[in-house]
Structures are given as C-alpha cells and as structure tokens.
Amino acid sequence: RVQMMLAEQIHRNLKRQKETKIGERVPKAYVPSLVSLATDVVAKNFHIYPELKGITDPKVIKKIISRTSPNLDIIISAPHIDDEDYWKECCEQKFKNAVPRAEDHGNSYKQAFLETYLEKTLEALKPEQSTRQLEQLLK
C-alpha cells in the first residue's frame, strides 16, 4: 500500500513536469519521506490499530494524531487520543454552532467534547427507546 502511494505521488510529479511549457523552470519532483508516508498510513488506519505503543517519538505521534480524522467513533478515539489539538478540532467540527469552551470543562477540549457529546446524546433519547439506547451507549 505504501509503495502504491509512493508510486502515485511520483507519477503525479512526473506528469506535472511534462505539462510545463518549454523554457519554464521545471520543479523538482517531491518524494515524501518514509516517515511521512508511514504516518499517513497509520493515521488513515487508526480506526483499525488505535494503539501507538511501538511509537516512541512524541513528534511522530503528534503527526499521526494531527492526520487522524476527527470523525472517528468516540469508542476508538476517547481511550486512545489525549491530544488537545485533536479534541479542539473535534469540538469545532461536531458542534459548529455552539463550540464548547475548554475553560468551561476543566480546561480540556477532550473533556469538553465528551461532556457535550454525552449531553447531546442524552437529550436526543426518545422515551420509548431510551432504555435500549442507554444500554448501548454505556457498553
């Protein structure tokens, strides 16, 4: 999969070079680093492998989390992601009209997201389905 991504990137760059006009300066082909390719792959598959135990470099972990979708299922993201920038983005995307403030939730965007998410979920429960939905929510 990584090889395919790399091949596609090289192909796009070579195609761009061919499309330049005669006499124009040809840009150098950009080949992403292996670390960059790997962080992209891990981020795209975070929902399958959310534990980053083998990664010890905090900068690499930060890159992976920054490239991870803020639309992940809360069951996956909550126990595995502590990065405040990630949770701030989640708050901004999920609650666009009323973004919760970290200051109102223990100075934590993760806490703000989780509390607001739980509040909205409980408010949306219908009385006739509430028991079953609540049981599913608590699993």
What's the whole-number mean pLDDT along residues 40-49? 93
pTM: 0.70
Task: Identify whether the C-beta of residue 65 lies closer than 8 Å to the C-beta of residue 81.
Answer: yes
Question: What would the pLDDT profile of 8-23 be if each residue is shown by its tens digit?
Answer: 776 666 666 555 555 5
**74-120 pLDDT tens trace:** 999 999 999 999 999 999 999 988 899 889 999 999 999 999 999 98
Burial per residue of 20-58, b for 16 or more beta-carbon CB atoms within 10 angstroms, e otherwise? eeeeeeeeeeeeeeeeebbbbebeeebeeebeeeeeeee
Helices within the chain (DSSP H only): 2-18, 34-44, 58-67, 74-80, 84-94, 109-123, 130-138
